Amino acid sequence: MQDLYYDGKTPLPEKGILKVEKDGLCFAADQKEYVFSIRDILSVEKFSSEYRLEIGNLSSSNSTVIIVFYSENTYANLIAIVKQGKVGAISGIWMSAGIWQKIGVLAILAFIVIFGYNSALSYLYHFVPLSYDKTRSALLSPKIREFLYVCSAPEINRVVDSIGKRLKDPTDPFTYDIVVVQDNIANAFALPGGNIIIFTALLSTMESPEELAGVIAHEMAHVRRRHGTRNEIRYLGNFLFLSLTIGSGFEGVEFIENMDTFYELTSAALFSQKFSREFEMEADREALENLKRSNITAEGLQHWFERLKVTLAKKEKEENTINIPDFLSSHPPTDERINVIQRTIAEGDYSNGKLGISRSKWPRIRNQCGQRETALKK
């Protein structure tokens, strides 16, 4: 059976014989011979009963040549040349490796590239000024009131405002805009720069104002640690990466050149965000420190998460009978998080400070605004 020579220019191969000579390779076709240097070898691979030789860096052109041959002796001679070091060290190791070894190496390299890429994205926020977060907050505050049913009941708003002011650290660079929104979704979330939204369905599940203080402290920690901005960077980085690798390159991302579209893109990510385990635990730690500094008991946060854990356990047992709050999916109360909170409170010098609102009044205050099927105005 004759060997096949593919020049990379035409689909039809030339037939001939591949020879391994002392100083190089020679492919003898019917009417022409092609000579190559050993150092031009890129790879040698075995596929069932045939062998595939790839040659590059040719003096005559920039194309890559593929030679398919069938001689086991020729293959053995090529591998011997590789082991003798006549080919570059890295190329030699690669060519002598088996197919599964190569797959393993490529998988490891892919993991390193992806891990390094995500790690780099995690630290890019240091290069984004705080003014970016503050600008986002200034833009979003009126939009929240324009498009969402914001609760206007004075008593619950006074409670929320007083908790926010009490928790505000003098060194915190952000100004917080905490609003209660009428909705039947039991959730709360923070946006870059200081916007915090608490839904009335979540408020209705809180047994004390100290639990509300714990949740607000947790959301404020997300803002101060800039978790929303860091999520934005990761979201945009992955979007651009995918556009450049499997999309249409830089032409595919032209539509985010104006800031309006940019904010629309990032806002979509923010309102549906779910923070990482690392971010959630970081927010827990900072919330506990903030409660301690503000002389507010941290047991409210602890009891809140313990109760969420019970709700989650019931949800897992009765999949179709219990409506799991969205707060559980975006802020999962894992055993690890609860254990850290319990241990930190037990080991630390935490106060038992209250907010001065009696338990008998709290149910009326928390339910002042009621709920709606949707927070969005029609």
Angle between helices 209-224 and 154-167 (to 10 degrees): 50
Between CA 142 and CA 139 the distance in angstroms is 7
Of the candidates 327, 374, 363, the residue with the CA atom closest to the CA atom of residue 156: 363
Which tokens go with 301?
């946060």
Strand, helix or coil for residue 42: strand
Residue 21, CA distances (Å) to 3, 24, 40, 72, 366 in order: 16, 5, 14, 15, 88
Distances (CA, A) of 53 to 5, 56, 95, 208, 370: 10, 10, 10, 74, 73
Specify the pLDDT at position 296.
95
Q: Note the pLDDT of residue 116.
A: 62
Neighbours of 208 (CB within 10 A): 20
Helices marked H in the chain: 72-83, 89-96, 99-123, 130-147, 154-167, 200-203, 209-224, 227-245, 259-271, 277-293, 299-317, 326-330, 335-347, 362-366
Bridge partners, residue 43, by sequence: 54
pLDDT at 310 over 90: no
The CATH architecture to which 3-96 belongs is: Roll (2.30)
Least confidently predicted of 17-26, 159-168, 207-216, 305-314:
305-314
* 8, two tokens: 């990379």
What is the rounded distance in angstroms from the CA atom of residue 339 to the CA atom of residue 160? Answer: 28
365, 374, 209: which is closest to 300 by C-alpha? Answer: 209
Q: How high is the pLDDT of residue 231? A: 81
Q: Write down the pLDDT at residue 52.
A: 87
Place of tokens 């969205």: 326
pLDDT of residue 366: 92
CA distance 263 to 26: 61
pLDDT grade for 114, boundaries at 50, 70 and 90: low
- pLDDT at position 57: 56
Residue whose structure tokens are 């109360």: 333
Q: What is the pTM of this model?
A: 0.63
The predicted structure's pLDDT at residue 237: 59
Instruction: Decide if pLDDT at 134 tops 60.
Output: yes
What's the pLDDT at 41?
Answer: 81
User: Is the pLDDT confidence value at 85 over 60?
Assistant: no
List the beta bridge partners of residue 53: 44, 67
Mean pLDDT of 111-140: 76
Contact call for residues 366 and 203 (beta carbons, < 8 A)? yes
Where does the pLDDT of residue 120 fall: very low under 50, low under 70, confident under 90, or very high at 90 and above? low
pLDDT in tens, 205-249: 899 999 999 999 999 999 999 988 888 777 765 555 445 444 444
Lowest mean pLDDT among 108-122, 218-232, 287-301: 108-122
Which DSSP string corresponds to 60-74?
A: S-S--EEEEE--HHH
pLDDT value, residue 275: 73
Average pLDDT over residues 117-124: 66
Angle at the Cα of 242 (from 241 to 246), degrees rounded to 5? 125
Q: Compute and round to an integer the Cα radius of gyration of the chain.
A: 32
β pairing state of 195-199 and 177-181: parallel
pLDDT of residue 96: 55
pLDDT for residue 363 is more than 80: yes
* pLDDT value of residue 54: 85
Could you tell me if 156 and 366 are in contact, meaning their C-beta atoms sit under 8 angstroms apart? yes
The fraction of the chain above a pLDDT of 90, given in percent, is: 30
Query: CB of 203 within 8 A of CB of 156?
Result: yes
Q: What pLDDT is stored for residue 37 in this prediction?
A: 84
pLDDT digits (tens, 9 = 90+) for 251-270: 444 444 444 444 444 444 44
* Other C-beta atoms lying within 10 Å of the C-beta of residue 152: 12
In tens, the pLDDT along 325-347 reads 455 555 555 778 888 889 999 88
CB 298 within 8 A of CB 284: no
